[in-house]
Structure 1
Amino acid sequence: MSVKIYKETYFEASHRLMHYEGKCSRLHGHQWRVEFWVEGDVPADTRILVDYNLIKKVVEAYDHQVILNEDDPMVECISKFQDVITTKGDPTSELLAEIMVFELEEKCRDAGLSARVVKCRVYESVSCFAEWTP
Protein backbone atom coordinates (compact mmCIF):
# COMPACT_ATOMS: atom_id res chain seq x y z
CA MET A 1 0.00 0.00 0.00
CA SER A 2 1.45 3.36 -1.05
CA VAL A 3 1.09 6.25 1.40
CA LYS A 4 2.17 9.89 1.67
CA ILE A 5 3.08 11.59 4.94
CA TYR A 6 3.97 15.14 5.91
CA LYS A 7 6.18 16.43 8.73
CA GLU A 8 6.93 20.01 9.76
CA THR A 9 9.75 20.82 12.15
CA TYR A 10 11.94 23.74 13.20
CA PHE A 11 15.53 24.50 14.12
CA GLU A 12 17.52 27.55 15.17
CA ALA A 13 20.86 28.13 13.48
CA SER A 14 23.18 30.79 12.15
CA HIS A 15 24.82 30.95 8.75
CA ARG A 16 26.37 33.38 6.34
CA LEU A 17 26.65 33.54 2.58
CA MET A 18 30.21 34.26 1.51
CA HIS A 19 29.30 34.80 -2.13
CA TYR A 20 26.44 37.22 -1.52
CA GLU A 21 26.62 41.00 -1.48
CA GLY A 22 24.34 42.34 1.20
CA LYS A 23 23.28 41.67 4.79
CA CYS A 24 23.37 37.89 4.41
CA SER A 25 27.14 38.02 3.92
CA ARG A 26 27.33 38.61 7.68
CA LEU A 27 26.91 35.86 10.24
CA HIS A 28 23.24 35.88 11.28
CA GLY A 29 20.60 33.51 12.53
CA HIS A 30 17.14 32.26 11.65
CA GLN A 31 14.39 30.15 13.04
CA TRP A 32 14.30 27.71 10.14
CA ARG A 33 11.15 25.76 9.29
CA VAL A 34 11.48 22.50 7.39
CA GLU A 35 8.64 20.59 5.74
CA PHE A 36 8.96 17.10 4.29
CA TRP A 37 6.53 15.24 2.04
CA VAL A 38 7.43 11.55 1.91
CA GLU A 39 5.80 8.69 0.03
CA GLY A 40 6.32 4.99 -0.37
CA ASP A 41 5.08 1.54 0.48
CA VAL A 42 4.05 0.90 4.05
CA PRO A 43 5.52 -2.26 5.61
CA ALA A 44 2.77 -4.71 6.51
CA ASP A 45 4.18 -5.38 9.98
CA THR A 46 4.50 -1.78 11.29
CA ARG A 47 2.04 0.09 9.04
CA ILE A 48 4.44 3.06 9.41
CA LEU A 49 6.03 4.56 6.31
CA VAL A 50 8.65 6.57 8.23
CA ASP A 51 8.73 7.28 11.94
CA TYR A 52 8.18 11.04 12.31
CA ASN A 53 10.97 11.03 14.89
CA LEU A 54 13.44 9.91 12.19
CA ILE A 55 12.56 13.00 10.17
CA LYS A 56 12.86 15.15 13.29
CA LYS A 57 16.34 13.73 14.04
CA VAL A 58 17.62 14.74 10.59
CA VAL A 59 16.55 18.33 11.21
CA GLU A 60 17.57 18.45 14.89
CA ALA A 61 21.19 17.84 13.89
CA TYR A 62 21.22 21.47 12.69
CA ASP A 63 19.59 22.96 15.79
CA HIS A 64 21.65 25.67 17.54
CA GLN A 65 24.53 25.21 15.11
CA VAL A 66 26.66 27.49 12.99
CA ILE A 67 26.44 26.44 9.33
CA LEU A 68 29.14 27.73 6.99
CA ASN A 69 30.61 27.12 3.57
CA GLU A 70 33.57 24.77 4.02
CA ASP A 71 35.76 27.41 2.35
CA ASP A 72 34.67 30.17 4.73
CA PRO A 73 37.63 31.56 6.74
CA MET A 74 35.30 31.83 9.76
CA VAL A 75 35.24 28.01 10.06
CA GLU A 76 38.76 27.84 11.48
CA CYS A 77 38.11 30.59 14.02
CA ILE A 78 34.68 29.45 15.24
CA SER A 79 35.79 25.80 15.36
CA LYS A 80 38.15 26.74 18.19
CA PHE A 81 35.09 27.35 20.36
CA GLN A 82 32.37 25.05 19.02
CA ASP A 83 31.55 22.62 16.26
CA VAL A 84 30.66 24.06 12.86
CA ILE A 85 28.56 22.33 10.24
CA THR A 86 30.15 22.91 6.85
CA THR A 87 28.62 22.65 3.40
CA LYS A 88 30.07 22.45 -0.10
CA GLY A 89 29.00 25.94 -1.09
CA ASP A 90 27.14 28.66 0.72
CA PRO A 91 24.53 27.26 3.15
CA THR A 92 21.47 28.66 1.42
CA SER A 93 17.98 27.35 2.04
CA GLU A 94 18.23 25.72 -1.39
CA LEU A 95 21.37 23.81 -0.44
CA LEU A 96 20.09 22.86 3.02
CA ALA A 97 16.92 21.42 1.48
CA GLU A 98 19.00 19.25 -0.86
CA ILE A 99 21.29 18.09 1.97
CA MET A 100 18.43 17.23 4.31
CA VAL A 101 16.61 15.28 1.59
CA PHE A 102 19.76 13.26 0.92
CA GLU A 103 20.25 12.61 4.66
CA LEU A 104 16.65 11.51 5.22
CA GLU A 105 16.61 9.23 2.18
CA GLU A 106 19.91 7.68 3.29
CA LYS A 107 18.47 6.98 6.77
CA CYS A 108 15.37 5.44 5.19
CA ARG A 109 17.50 3.17 2.96
CA ASP A 110 19.64 2.16 5.94
CA ALA A 111 16.45 1.23 7.82
CA GLY A 112 15.22 -0.85 4.87
CA LEU A 113 12.31 1.50 4.14
CA SER A 114 10.98 2.15 0.65
CA ALA A 115 10.21 5.79 1.48
CA ARG A 116 11.33 8.63 -0.76
CA VAL A 117 11.07 12.39 -0.35
CA VAL A 118 8.79 13.95 -2.95
CA LYS A 119 9.11 17.51 -1.69
CA CYS A 120 11.02 19.46 0.94
CA ARG A 121 10.70 23.11 1.86
CA VAL A 122 13.24 25.00 3.95
CA TYR A 123 12.09 28.40 5.19
CA GLU A 124 14.54 31.07 6.32
CA SER A 125 11.63 33.26 7.40
CA VAL A 126 7.86 33.21 7.31
CA SER A 127 7.87 34.81 3.88
CA CYS A 128 10.55 32.92 1.94
CA PHE A 129 11.49 29.31 1.34
CA ALA A 130 13.31 27.05 -1.06
CA GLU A 131 11.50 23.99 -2.35
CA TRP A 132 13.28 20.81 -3.40
CA THR A 133 11.51 18.31 -5.67
CA PRO A 134 13.02 15.37 -7.56
Structure 2
Amino acid sequence: MSTIRITKQFNFETGHALYGYDGKCKNVHGHSYKLSVTVIGQPITDSSNVKFGMVIDFSDLKKVVKEEIVDVFDHATVFNKNTPHVELAKELQDRGHHVILVDYQPTSEMMVIDFAEKIKNRLPENINLHSLRLQETETSFAEWFASDNL
Protein backbone atom coordinates (compact mmCIF):
# COMPACT_ATOMS: atom_id res chain seq x y z
CA MET A 1 0.00 0.00 0.00
CA SER A 2 1.19 3.51 -0.77
CA THR A 3 2.06 6.03 1.88
CA ILE A 4 0.14 9.27 1.40
CA ARG A 5 0.42 12.78 2.84
CA ILE A 6 -2.68 14.87 3.31
CA THR A 7 -2.86 18.52 4.30
CA LYS A 8 -5.54 20.63 5.94
CA GLN A 9 -5.28 24.40 6.26
CA PHE A 10 -6.51 26.61 9.08
CA ASN A 11 -6.75 30.35 9.73
CA PHE A 12 -6.76 32.25 13.01
CA GLU A 13 -6.00 35.72 14.35
CA THR A 14 -3.51 36.10 17.18
CA GLY A 15 -1.72 39.00 18.82
CA HIS A 16 1.70 38.87 20.42
CA ALA A 17 4.73 40.91 21.41
CA LEU A 18 8.39 39.94 21.47
CA TYR A 19 9.99 41.05 24.70
CA GLY A 20 13.54 42.34 24.30
CA TYR A 21 13.32 42.46 20.50
CA ASP A 22 15.07 45.38 18.78
CA GLY A 23 12.42 46.07 16.13
CA LYS A 24 8.75 46.87 15.71
CA CYS A 25 7.64 43.45 16.93
CA LYS A 26 8.48 44.46 20.50
CA ASN A 27 5.09 46.24 20.34
CA VAL A 28 1.84 44.34 20.78
CA HIS A 29 0.51 43.54 17.31
CA GLY A 30 -1.39 40.80 15.54
CA HIS A 31 -1.26 38.47 12.56
CA SER A 32 -3.72 36.58 10.40
CA TYR A 33 -1.99 33.23 10.72
CA LYS A 34 -2.37 30.43 8.19
CA LEU A 35 -1.50 26.97 9.49
CA SER A 36 -1.01 24.04 7.11
CA VAL A 37 -0.97 20.64 8.82
CA THR A 38 0.34 17.67 6.85
CA VAL A 39 0.02 14.13 8.16
CA ILE A 40 1.31 10.92 6.63
CA GLY A 41 -0.02 7.39 6.65
CA GLN A 42 -1.58 4.66 4.57
CA PRO A 43 -5.18 4.71 3.36
CA ILE A 44 -7.51 2.33 5.19
CA THR A 45 -7.86 -0.86 3.11
CA ASP A 46 -10.75 -2.45 5.00
CA SER A 47 -13.75 -1.94 2.69
CA SER A 48 -16.14 -2.44 5.62
CA ASN A 49 -14.64 0.57 7.43
CA VAL A 50 -16.64 3.79 6.90
CA LYS A 51 -13.30 5.59 6.44
CA PHE A 52 -12.24 3.16 3.67
CA GLY A 53 -9.66 4.77 1.37
CA MET A 54 -8.79 7.59 3.79
CA VAL A 55 -5.52 8.16 5.61
CA ILE A 56 -7.51 10.16 8.17
CA ASP A 57 -10.89 11.78 7.78
CA PHE A 58 -10.31 15.50 7.19
CA SER A 59 -13.00 16.20 9.80
CA ASP A 60 -11.06 14.15 12.39
CA LEU A 61 -7.88 16.11 11.66
CA LYS A 62 -9.85 19.34 11.80
CA LYS A 63 -11.23 18.43 15.23
CA VAL A 64 -7.73 17.86 16.65
CA VAL A 65 -6.25 21.07 15.24
CA LYS A 66 -9.24 23.21 16.18
CA GLU A 67 -9.27 21.93 19.77
CA GLU A 68 -5.49 22.16 20.29
CA ILE A 69 -4.62 25.28 18.28
CA VAL A 70 -7.32 27.30 16.54
CA ASP A 71 -9.90 27.48 19.32
CA VAL A 72 -7.15 28.27 21.85
CA PHE A 73 -5.09 30.83 19.92
CA ASP A 74 -7.77 32.55 17.81
CA HIS A 75 -8.28 36.15 18.98
CA ALA A 76 -5.88 35.67 21.88
CA THR A 77 -2.77 37.63 22.77
CA VAL A 78 0.34 35.54 23.48
CA PHE A 79 3.12 36.62 25.81
CA ASN A 80 6.24 34.94 27.17
CA LYS A 81 5.41 34.35 30.84
CA ASN A 82 9.07 34.75 31.79
CA THR A 83 9.17 38.47 30.92
CA PRO A 84 7.71 41.68 32.35
CA HIS A 85 4.91 41.24 29.82
CA VAL A 86 3.14 39.28 32.57
CA GLU A 87 2.12 42.63 34.06
CA LEU A 88 0.50 43.67 30.76
CA ALA A 89 -1.05 40.22 30.47
CA LYS A 90 -2.61 40.56 33.92
CA GLU A 91 -4.04 43.97 33.03
CA LEU A 92 -5.55 42.62 29.81
CA GLN A 93 -6.97 39.55 31.57
CA ASP A 94 -8.52 41.78 34.24
CA ARG A 95 -10.26 43.64 31.40
CA GLY A 96 -11.67 40.43 29.96
CA HIS A 97 -9.13 39.78 27.20
CA HIS A 98 -8.07 36.27 26.21
CA VAL A 99 -4.36 36.02 27.04
CA ILE A 100 -2.08 33.02 26.70
CA LEU A 101 1.15 32.87 28.67
CA VAL A 102 3.76 30.54 27.20
CA ASP A 103 7.24 29.57 28.36
CA TYR A 104 8.87 30.65 25.10
CA GLN A 105 9.31 33.77 22.97
CA PRO A 106 6.10 33.74 20.85
CA THR A 107 7.79 33.83 17.45
CA SER A 108 6.43 31.81 14.54
CA GLU A 109 9.37 29.44 14.97
CA MET A 110 8.61 28.69 18.60
CA MET A 111 4.86 28.57 18.08
CA VAL A 112 5.20 25.97 15.32
CA ILE A 113 7.32 23.79 17.66
CA ASP A 114 4.62 24.09 20.33
CA PHE A 115 1.86 23.32 17.82
CA ALA A 116 3.71 20.24 16.53
CA GLU A 117 3.89 18.71 20.01
CA LYS A 118 0.22 19.40 20.70
CA ILE A 119 -0.94 17.90 17.41
CA LYS A 120 1.37 14.85 17.57
CA ASN A 121 -0.02 13.94 20.98
CA ARG A 122 -3.57 13.77 19.61
CA LEU A 123 -3.10 11.84 16.35
CA PRO A 124 -4.11 8.17 16.04
CA GLU A 125 -1.20 5.70 16.35
CA ASN A 126 -1.14 4.88 12.64
CA ILE A 127 -0.94 8.55 11.58
CA ASN A 128 2.20 10.66 11.90
CA LEU A 129 2.62 14.39 11.73
CA HIS A 130 4.76 15.07 8.66
CA SER A 131 5.01 18.86 8.68
CA LEU A 132 3.55 22.17 9.76
CA ARG A 133 3.75 25.51 8.03
CA LEU A 134 2.79 28.57 10.05
CA GLN A 135 2.45 31.61 7.83
CA GLU A 136 2.62 34.89 9.73
CA THR A 137 2.39 37.26 6.77
CA GLU A 138 2.02 36.87 3.01
CA THR A 139 5.80 36.57 2.69
CA SER A 140 6.95 35.06 6.01
CA PHE A 141 6.47 31.60 7.48
CA ALA A 142 8.07 28.98 9.70
CA GLU A 143 8.07 25.28 8.90
CA TRP A 144 8.46 22.19 11.06
CA PHE A 145 9.28 18.79 9.51
CA ALA A 146 9.26 15.51 11.43
CA SER A 147 12.29 14.35 9.45
CA ASP A 148 14.29 17.28 10.84
CA ASN A 149 13.31 16.41 14.42
CA LEU A 150 14.11 12.72 14.81
TM-score using structure 1 length: 0.86
Pick the aligned partner of 2:69 from 52, 59, 64.
Answer: 59
What is the CA–CA distance in structure 2 between the aligned matches of 1:75 and 1:4, rounded to whole Å?
39
Pick the aligned partner of 2:80 from 69, 72, 84.
Answer: 69
Structure 2 regions of 5+ residues with no counterpart? none
Does the CA-based 8 Å contact 1:31-1:124 persist in structure 2?
yes
In the TM superposition, residue 96 of structure 1 has moved relative to its aligned partner by: 1.1
Higher strand share: 1
The within-5 A match list for 1:99-114 is: 99-108=114-123, 112-114=124-126
Does the CA-based 8 Å contact 2:64-2:122 persist in structure 1?
no
Which digits, 9 at most, give the CA deviation of each residue in 1:49-97, with x for residues without a partner?
3323225413322111111111233222222123311221111101111
What is the CA–CA distance in structure 2 between the aligned matches of 1:86 and 1:5, rounded to whole Å?
31
Name the counterpart of 1:49: 55
Does the CA-based 8 Å contact 1:70-1:86 persist in structure 2?
yes
What is the CA–CA distance in structure 1 between the aligned matches of 2:43 and 2:110, rounded to whole Å?
29
Structure 1 regions of 5+ residues with no counterpart? none
Q: How many residues align?
A: 131
What fraction of aligned residue pairs are identical, expressed as a percent? 25
**Residue type at the aligned position of 1:59:** I
- Considering only CA atoms, is the larger Rg found in Structure 1 or Structure 2? 2
For the residue of structure 2 that corresponds to 1:107, the secondary structure is coil
